[in-house]
């Protein structure tokens, strides 16, 4: 029989119990704090890198493909700024007064060119089975972080809204990734392919140099972006598909460009592998980046909580019946690729298609989207 405890013994045990309880609460608080810290640190870990990716800085990137050749001009070549001035296509000076540097107004045929580029690109990519979207351009900062960007970093590319947890998007990749956050997608829906048109806003903090004149580096621009959610084993295939679509689009416009397999230091946190396209810009006398296609594998999907339930063959043969007989959900892979970054494309078209008389030819595919216009000519005053 259990003996009755001595009063002092009982007291001692009660005390011990109380101490343990308080100690436990304190430890749990510590645990929560440490878990948060662990999460923060873990989020700093970038994605894995594809074994084929060259190790090193930008100059280590390798050329996958070269298309076209630079046009030969029999007259002095003008850059897009000069062409734009003579053809009354832009206003940077007024924009600097109204908004600040690296802002601009597009005027006259440049507006038609922007609309044509967007409409044509949307149309071409939709033909390839992508669902068109327009997206919010203000998003919660938590979503921005989950995509691999850092709104709070010192030299952040991200504009934040005052008295708010919202930010302006730097790319439609962010709201499109967020479209399926915290979801379990049906296997039969995959791959989900979207083509999204949005305006993009970037602080360009820390960017300097001559290549920032004119339209090359600006705070606001229009972009058509491709985004794919797919099964893990298919992401490399879709990465190839995306870069091929880009190469087809730029070839159709008659551009001279090279596709690069970007070196490890240029990947950024989310990308497993990244292909950039650089097009020849005769006015700048160099190649300039016009698009980027990244395979982010499960980096974004883990953070955004996007999973799918694989169709499992084991279901048919398994002797053990689990509840609902469903395979456990897996993270999808996500990919994103620029179909058209309008200002860079405008630079390419103006500089490559300039004529001796100062006019600019419009490439065939865009003419139906510009009401049949075939050339941008000087305005008679």
Residues 110/90, Cβ–Cβ less than 8 Å = yes
Which residue do the tokens 């002092």 mark?
8
Q: Is 135 in the site for its own copies (CB under 8 A)?
A: yes
Name which position in 103, 145, 312, 365 contacts its own copies (CB under 8 A): 103
Between 60 and 184, CB nearer to its own copies = 184
Q: Is 205 in the site for its own copies (CB under 8 A)?
A: no
Minimum distance from residue 224 beta carbon to its own copies (Å): 11
220 annotated as a binding-site residue: yes
**How is residue 259 written in tokens?**
């596709």
Q: Is 132 in the site for its own copies (CB under 8 A)?
A: yes
Q: Is 134 in the site for its own copies (CB under 8 A)?
A: yes
**Given 86, 145, 234, 289, which residue is catalytic?**
289
Burial class (CB in 10 A: 0-12, 13-18, 19+), 330: middle
Specify whether 252 is catalytic.
no
Per-position x/- string for 36-75, each x denoting binding to its own copies as judged by CB under 8 A, each - no binding: ----------------------------------------
**Given 141, 198, 217, 303, which residue is catalytic?**
217
Name which position in 83, 87, 118, 341 contacts its own copies (CB under 8 A): 118
DSSP, collapsed to helix, strand or coil, labels residue 127 as helix
CA 8 – CA 130 distance, rounded (Å): 77
287 annotated as a binding-site residue: no
Q: Any residues with CB less than 8 A from the CB of 99 and at least 6 apart, and which? A: 219
Question: Residue 62 half-sphere exposure, CB side, CA atoms within 13 Å?
Answer: 7
Q: Which helix (H) or strand (E) holds 259?
A: strand 257-261
Q: Is 280 in the site for its own copies (CB under 8 A)?
A: no
Between 195 and 263, CB nearer to its own copies = 195
Q: Is 312 in the site for its own copies (CB under 8 A)?
A: no
Specify whether 292 is catalytic.
yes
204 annotated as a binding-site residue: yes
**How is residue 167 written in tokens?**
């930010």
CA 346 – CA 357 distance, rounded (Å): 19
Q: Is 374 in the site for its own copies (CB under 8 A)?
A: no
Q: Any residues with CB less than 8 A from the CB of 107 and at least 6 apart, and which? A: 88, 89, 90, 91
Q: Is 189 in the site for its own copies (CB under 8 A)?
A: yes
**Of 312, 309, 328, whose CA–CA distance to 184 is shortest?**
309
Which residue do the tokens 């970007």 mark?
262
**Of 102, 215, 114, whose CA–CA distance to 157 is shortest?**
102
Q: Is 94 in the site for its own copies (CB under 8 A)?
A: yes
Specify whether 344 is catalytic.
yes
**How is residue 161 written in tokens?**
């809204």
Which residue do the tokens 């190790």 mark?
55
DSSP, collapsed to helix, strand or coil, labels residue 181 as coil
Q: How many residues does the chain have?
A: 381
Crossing angle (nearest 10°) for helices 109-127 and 342-352: 110
Per-position x/- string for 141-160, each x denoting binding to its own copies as judged by CB under 8 A, each - no binding: --x---------------xx
Name which position in 104, 216, 257, 331 contacts its own copies (CB under 8 A): 104
Specify whether 265 is catalytic.
no
Q: Is 175 in the site for its own copies (CB under 8 A)?
A: yes
Residues 292/338, Cβ–Cβ less than 8 Å = yes
Q: Is 360 in the site for its own copies (CB under 8 A)?
A: no
Specify whether 160 is catalytic.
no
Task: Please state the residue numbers annotated as binding site for ATP.
Answer: 202-204, 218-221, 289-292
As annotated, the active-site residues are 202, 217, 289, 292, 344
Footprint of its own copies (CB under 8 A): 91, 94-95, 97-100, 103-108, 111-112, 114-115, 118-119, 122-123, 131-140, 143, 159-164, 166, 168, 175, 178-186, 189, 197, 199, 201, 219-220, 222, 308-309, 329, 371
Task: Please state the residue numbers annotated as binding site for L-serine.
Answer: 171, 202, 225, 336
């Amino acid at each position: 029989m259990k003996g009755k405890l001595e009063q002092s013994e009982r007291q001692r045990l009660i005390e011990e119990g109380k101490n343990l309880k308080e100690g436990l609460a304190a430890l749990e608080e510590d645990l929560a704090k440490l878990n948060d810290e662990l999460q923060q640190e873990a989020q700093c870990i970038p994605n894995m890198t594809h074994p084929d990716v060259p190790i090193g800085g930008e100059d280590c990137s390798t050329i996958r493909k070269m298309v076209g050749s630079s046009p030969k001009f029999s007259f002095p070549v003008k850059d897009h700024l000069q062409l734009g001035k003579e053809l009354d296509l832009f206003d940077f000076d007024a924009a600097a007064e109204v908004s600040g540097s690296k802002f601009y107004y597009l005027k006259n045929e440049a507006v038609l060119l922007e609309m044509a580029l967007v409409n044509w690109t949307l149309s071409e990519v939709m033909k390839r089975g992508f669902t068109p979207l327009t997206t919010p351009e203000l998003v919660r900062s938590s979503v921005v972080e989950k995509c691999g960007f850092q709104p709070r970093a010192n030299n952040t590319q991200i504009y934040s809204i005052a008295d708010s947890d919202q930010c302006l998007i730097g790319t439609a990749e962010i709201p499109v990734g967020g479209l399926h956050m915290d979801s379990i997608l049906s296997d039969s829906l995959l791959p989900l392919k979207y083509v999204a048109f949005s305006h993009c806003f970037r602080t360009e903090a820390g960017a300097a140099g001559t290549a920032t004149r004119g339209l090359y580096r600006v705070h606001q621009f229009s972009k058509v972006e491709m985004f794919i959610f797919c099964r893990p084993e298919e992401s490399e295939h879709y990465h190839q598909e995306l870069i091929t679509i880009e190469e087809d689009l730029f070839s159709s416009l008659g551009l001279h460009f090279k596709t690069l397999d970007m070196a490890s230091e240029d990947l950024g946190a989310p990308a497993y592998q990244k292909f950039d396209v650089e097009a020849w810009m005769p006015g700048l006398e160099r190649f300039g980046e016009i698009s980027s296609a990244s395979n982010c594998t499960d980096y974004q999907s883990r953070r955004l909580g996007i999973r799918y339930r694989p169709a499992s063959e084991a279901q048919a043969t398994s002797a053990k019946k689990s509840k609902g007989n469903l395979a456990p959900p897996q993270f999808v892979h996500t990919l994103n690729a620029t179909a058209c970054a309008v200002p860079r494309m405008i630079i390419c078209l103006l500089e490559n298609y300039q004529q001796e008389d100062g006019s600019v030819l419009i490439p065939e595919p865009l003419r139906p989207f510009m009401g049949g216009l075939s050339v941008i000519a000087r305005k008679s005053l």
